[in-house]
Amino acid sequence: MPATATPTTHPDFQAEETHLTHTIRAVLRQIDAWEDRDRNVGADLETSLTLADNAEEKAAMLAVHVKEPYFGSLRVRIGGREQLLYVGKHAFLDLQGPHSVVSWESAVGSLYYSDALTWTAPGRGQAAGLKGTVLRRRQLDVQDRALHRVTDLYDVDAGGDTGGREAVLLSRLSEAATTGMRDVVETLQPEQNDAVRAPAGTAQLIQGAAGSGKTTIGFHRLAWLMHPERAAERARPEACLVLMPNQVLAAYAARVLPGLNLQGVNVTTPESWALSFLGLEKMDVTDRTLTLLLQDRDNGRRRAAWRRAKALGDLRMLEVVRRHLARRLAVNVARLEFALQVDLRGETRSVQLGPHDLQGLLDDVQRRSPLEGYRSAFRTATLERVLGLLNASGDAEVTRVTRLLAPEVTALTGKVFAGILPVSEGRRIVSDEATLRAAADGLLDERTLDVLLGDPLTSVAKPRRSSADVTEIPLMLAVAALLDGVGRREGREVAPYDHIVLDEAQDYAPLLYALLARAARPGHITALGDLNQGLHGYKGPGRWADVQAALGGEARARLTTLSRTYRSTRQITRLSARVAATYNRAADVVGVDRDGADVMRLTGEPLAVLTARAVKAIQAQGHRNVAVVTRRAADAETLAAAMRHHDVDAQPILNEQARYSGGVVILPVNLAKGLEFDGCVVAGADAAHYDPGTEFESRLMYVSASRGLHMLALTAEGPLHPLLLPPDDERGTFAS
């Protein structure tokens, strides 16, 4: 039997068609029952209304899946019985017949994706501990209530693996790009499935080359975490946070939320999130290091800027901030006396706490470093101390005295923490030499101190409005986290996020990792990134081991490497892998072997002429979403205008406020990261734009060259960049 049988030849096609028809009928019957208000009658009006509301919500959730109730099936044998299970995006329990559907996020749903052939039933029910065997995995291509194709992925009767999984994947990958991220529930691959279902409650670091599905995995993992089977580790959408490198990508990715039932998840950038958490939404955000790296050609200045940014995000800075706060607080406390009188059991009692006592309380709090922050812990500790000194006893007395004391202790706390604010303290630590030296003594070496105290960015203008730079935000956040906790604001409280997903995780400073770990439930961080794409290496970790250190060690943060990439054709993957290999020997990129057009290389004429020609050639192949990627924003602006003279209207995306809405766009490489297009033209693909002597430039080129799904063109007025020339075995076969 062929791996992918056509509708008429698969022997089970008709039986599957009948099963589908009956499943859809059963689902519709259930929806009708839920929508029927008369059936949802409770003992009183309120119960009836609640029942009806719940039923309507369930009906609405299920209604979305009527047209495609499932996408696969499993034939399994467990406890001596064979069972047929249908797997879909939403579970459905058919109380009257055999048309139930299990959801893909359930433990049994996992069997559809993994390569495992046996399992042991979990839980405490009757089946617990029984050994099961997978006999068949079958993909069912259902669209709009009709069955289009039946493909067996594995069938024990046909000799095992059929190669069908690869065939289904290839046909899915050949589809056109869309303007938003897609869900890939139906074709999740075994290693991706493992990453999605990695133990909840242990931080996961996932390294994968461009196009290995990292962003996709991040969102699917969130969907998996929402499933009731996750029990205590289950996450709620409104309590989850996804951080993405820029707003263009955040908007692009957020479109996958409804399909995965993730509405309510906050998808934003680390800077917007941090500033909003700090209550500084009105501040402009700058990344002056990036501006310098992109614009300045002086390698000495670039190196200095890189080093300073790196030092600002070093994990040791958390300890520096801790020590700085300790010194600041000690100065405040040294001036304070706390004295008060309370009437207790008919007597007037006095309590006095001098600077020494207060410092003792503060020391204790700082030693514990509580997640709720020093301020709240100090207030609680002081109250407890005073209650103890007063010998207050019994619930009623303790409550009464606490009420009396509360305003006084709050006022005292205000004085202890007076004038210590995240922005000013975060800045003071790294701008005032005496302050830095005192706080960093024995922690940072002389060279690092010099780097921190230098100002390599003088040539980069600051905005007129008040602003914060991305490299100083982690320090400000550290001050806030230690003083008042960090996490999700719930009214006046700060609660931990149920889960935090970090996309492009190679761009987060180790210091930021340590703070985000405090902002989420223990182990509830999934970080997905590619060290090869570290455009923002000045912010990010040099190695994943640095991140593991920030998250509490290897045992607490598991590192997985994805071995395959899915986005691009063989021709494109091969070229981008060659670029990555120049700066990363370990880069071992294996693409899905999907054949496509040869890479187009166009040189020897004005850039606008060549680029317009490339765009038209890609469109002539029927592709709609095409990107022209330039090295800088200014190049994109000039080229967009020039291409209009050659009959190509490319929409510029020049800043984060712009949105990608399909068609032909032109954008600088730093904004193209994470996005993908049917066809991509790297305009100015030469040594003048991407300096071959600088690793950072090669990383940029890797990002540019890896954006296309189906076609890639390289344009340059002069010779192409040496890394982009065709390898010997391809010479002569490329278009020019």
**Residue 693, marked binder:** no
Residue type, 37: R
182 touches ligand ATP by CB under 6 A? yes
Q: Which is nearer to ligand ATP, 361 or 705 (CB)?
A: 705
Nearest to 242 by CA among 212, 214, 273: 273
530 touches ligand ATP by CB under 6 A? yes
Residue 210 beta carbon to ligand ATP: minimum distance, rounded to whole angstroms: 4
Q: Which stretch binds ligand ATP (CB under 6 A): 62-70, 186-194, 402-410, 571-579?
A: 186-194
173 touches ligand ATP by CB under 6 A? yes
The contacts of residue 169 (CB under 8 Å, 6+ apart) are 187, 189, 566, 592
Residue 679 beta carbon to ligand ATP: minimum distance, rounded to whole angstroms: 14
Q: Which is nearer to ligand ATP, 23 or 212 (CB)?
A: 212
188 touches ligand ATP by CB under 6 A? yes
**Residue 213, marked binder:** yes
Q: Which is nearer to ligand ATP, 678 or 686 (CB)?
A: 678
Question: Binding-site residue total for ligand ATP (CB under 6 A)?
Answer: 23
Residue 676 beta carbon to ligand ATP: minimum distance, rounded to whole angstroms: 5
172 touches ligand ATP by CB under 6 A? yes
Nearest to 73 by CA among 2, 164, 191, 197: 164
567 touches ligand ATP by CB under 6 A? yes
Q: Which stretch binds ligand ATP (CB under 6 A): 84-92, 185-193, 261-269, 354-362?
A: 185-193
**Residue 210, marked binder:** yes
Are residues 145 and 126 in contact, defined by beta-carbon separation less than 8 angstroms? no
Q: Which is nearer to ligand ATP, 666 or 709 (CB)?
A: 709
589 phi-psi bin (left φ>0, alpha ψ -120 to 50, beta other): beta
CA-to-CA dists, residue 493 to 216, 473, 490, 497, angstroms = 32, 22, 5, 12
Using only the alpha carbons of the chain, give its radius of gyration.
Answer: 30
Q: Classify strands 102-103 and 118-120 as parallel, antiparallel or unpaired.
A: unpaired
Q: Classify strands 118-120 and 131-143 as parallel, antiparallel or unpaired.
A: antiparallel
566 touches ligand ATP by CB under 6 A? yes
Structure tokens at 88: 């879909």
613 touches ligand ATP by CB under 6 A? no
Query: What is residue 463's DSSP assignment?
Result: P
Residue 581 beta carbon to ligand ATP: minimum distance, rounded to whole angstroms: 17
Q: Which is nearer to ligand ATP, 501 or 723 (CB)?
A: 501
Tell which one of 30, 40, 103, 189 touches ligand ATP (CB under 6 A): 189
3-state secondary structure 155-222: EHHHCEECCHHHHHHHHHHCCCCCCCCCCCHHHCCHHHHHHHCCCCCCEEEEECCCCCCHHHHHHHHH
Task: State the Cα angle at 678 between 676 and 680, rounded to 5°.
Answer: 75
674 touches ligand ATP by CB under 6 A? yes
SS3 386: helix
How many CA within 13 A on the CB side of residue 49? Answer: 3
Tell which one of 23, 139, 192, 526 touches ligand ATP (CB under 6 A): 192
Q: Which is nearer to ligand ATP, 208 or 668 (CB)?
A: 208
Query: What is residue 5's DSSP assignment?
Result: B
Binding string, residues 631-670; x marks residues near ligand ATP by CB under 6 A: ----------------------------------------
**Residue 212, marked binder:** yes
CA-to-CA distance for 669 and 257, rounded, in angstroms? Answer: 26
- Sequence length of the chain is 736
151 touches ligand ATP by CB under 6 A? no
184 touches ligand ATP by CB under 6 A? yes
Q: Which is nearer to ligand ATP, 34 or 252 (CB)?
A: 252
Q: Which is nearer to ligand ATP, 261 or 573 (CB)?
A: 573
Q: Which is nearer to ligand ATP, 478 or 705 (CB)?
A: 705
First to last CA, the chain: 43
Q: What are phi and psi for residue 668, nearest 5 degrees?
A: -75, 155
Binding string, residues 202-231; x marks residues near ligand ATP by CB under 6 A: ------x-xxxxxxx---------------
CA-to-CA distance for 223 and 498, rounded, in angstroms? Answer: 13
Q: Which is nearer to ligand ATP, 375 or 567 (CB)?
A: 567
Q: Which stretch binds ligand ATP (CB under 6 A): 155-163, 181-189, 285-293, 431-439?
A: 181-189
Q: Which is nearer to ligand ATP, 76 or 188 (CB)?
A: 188
Residue 260 beta carbon to ligand ATP: minimum distance, rounded to whole angstroms: 13
Are residues 230 and 200 in contact, defined by beta-carbon separation less than 8 angstroms? yes
DSSP one-letter string for 111-160? HHHSS--EEE--SSSTTTT-EEEEEEEEEEEEETTEEEEEEEEEEGGGTE
Residue type, 490: E
CB-closest chain residue to ligand ATP: 213
CA-to-CA distance for 69 and 20, rounded, in angstroms? Answer: 8
Residue 660 beta carbon to ligand ATP: minimum distance, rounded to whole angstroms: 13
Binding string, residues 487-526; x marks residues near ligand ATP by CB under 6 A: ----------------------------------------
169 touches ligand ATP by CB under 6 A? yes
Structure tokens at 374: 């020093």
Residue 529 beta carbon to ligand ATP: minimum distance, rounded to whole angstroms: 8
Sequence ranges of the binding site: 208-215
Sequence ranges of the binding site for ATP: 208-215
- Residues near ligand ATP (CB under 6 A) are 169, 172-173, 182, 184, 187-189, 192, 208, 210-216, 530, 533, 566-567, 674, 676
